[in-house]
Amino acid sequence: MTGRIYTADHRMFRLPPLLSWRVTHTGTVPCDSFTVSFVYQKEMAEPLKLAAGFAAEEDGRVMLRAVVDEYTVDLDGGGLTATLSGRGYAARLLDNESRPVTYQSASLAEILQNHVTPYGVSCGETAEVRADSVYTVAAGTSQWKAVESFCRTYGGFSPRFSREGALLAGPEKEGRTLAVREGDPVLSCSLREDHYGVLTEALVIDKTQNRTFSVKNQEMIDKGGQCRRVLYTPGQSTWAAMRYTGEYQIQRSKEDAWTAEVTLPGSFLAFPGDRAALSLERMGLSGTFRVAEAENRFDGQNGATAMLTLKPLE
């Protein structure tokens, strides 16, 4: 993999050969991220001070576009090295708060125009979504949350980011499938199931209108779980908004209940949204799962490895 940085005054510099690197793709929040290290040269002093953007490339393809958060220069027994790290373009929306605003029958295109494009983020796709009620963005809400809440409430999907840094404001499309079989060179595999904090009921209350809406997680109830949360919404909430609030909270509580992590030799084997078809009979692990996160690493000792975090298909 090779790296390039872009400075605040619109110049581009290619980094020296990378000694080690880590690129993590999530496609959403928490952000995509990267860390790269290389031999430091004094000519890099000015570009590093002005570094604003980063691009990682593999075989001529962009693997990640990101913002630069930090750099360090270190002198030790191994010589003089520099380390650069940062986050994907979701950071541009997370780091900026919205003013309080109320929309009347807003379209997704209008939301993107006000909360995304002013922050240097392009839109790779935009679904045809329109609110059937008043949509309110509260004070202190990040631009990302303003967009994500609108998409979840009225479109039933969560927006994502492409590796090139474009916002994909539409339902996720199924990616390619990576097969992992018993005889493949699996470096490690772990399976975890954790029921702590998984909600069995979300009770949503609109105090202004004295309305309540209950959403239940029957799957967890059948397992003997008992965990209820009471949520309060702003006045004049619609049934759709109240249902979304309850379903969203239950879905979020389930996100980390079941996870498998598989580490394989190689890099950039799969990306969020791809599928992994597992057949690891020794662990009793078989089936097709969604790739939720892909962490790619390289160093001189271990070479290139890819750790895929897998979740059940929804």
Instruction: Name the residue ranges covered by the structural domains of the chain.
Output: 2-88, 93-169, 177-193+257-311, 201-254
pLDDT, residue 208, reads 74
- Is CATH 3.55.50.10 correct for 93-169? yes
3-state secondary structure of 220: helix
Give the three-class secondary structure for 93. Answer: helix
Distance CA 124, CA 166 (A): 5
What is the pLDDT at residue 237?
Answer: 65
d(CA 168, CA 152): 13
* Residue 247, H or E segment: helix 239-254
Q: Which structure tokens are listed for 282?
A: 């020794």
Residue 7 · residue 51 · CB < 8 Å:
yes
CATH, range 177-193+257-311: 2.30.300.10
Same fold, 2-88 and 93-169: no
> Residue 48 contacts by C-beta under 8 Å, 6 or more apart in sequence?
5, 71, 73, 82, 84
Angle formed by the axes of helices 239-254 and 143-155, nearest 10°: 110
pLDDT tens for the chain, residues 1 to 314: 999 999 999 999 999 999 999 999 999 999 999 999 999 999 999 999 999 999 999 999 999 999 999 999 999 988 999 999 999 999 999 999 999 999 998 999 999 999 999 999 999 999 999 998 889 999 999 999 999 999 988 998 999 999 999 999 999 998 999 999 998 999 999 999 888 888 989 888 887 777 888 889 888 888 888 899 888 876 666 666 777 778 878 887 877 778 999 999 999 999 999 999 999 988 889 999 999 999 999 999 999 999 999 999 87
Helix (H, G, I), strand (E, B), or coil: what is residue 129?
coil
Do residues 16 and 43 lie in contact, with contact meaning Cβ atoms separated by under 8 Å?
A: no
Which pLDDT value is given to residue 239? 63
- Second-level CATH architecture of 2-88: Roll (2.30)
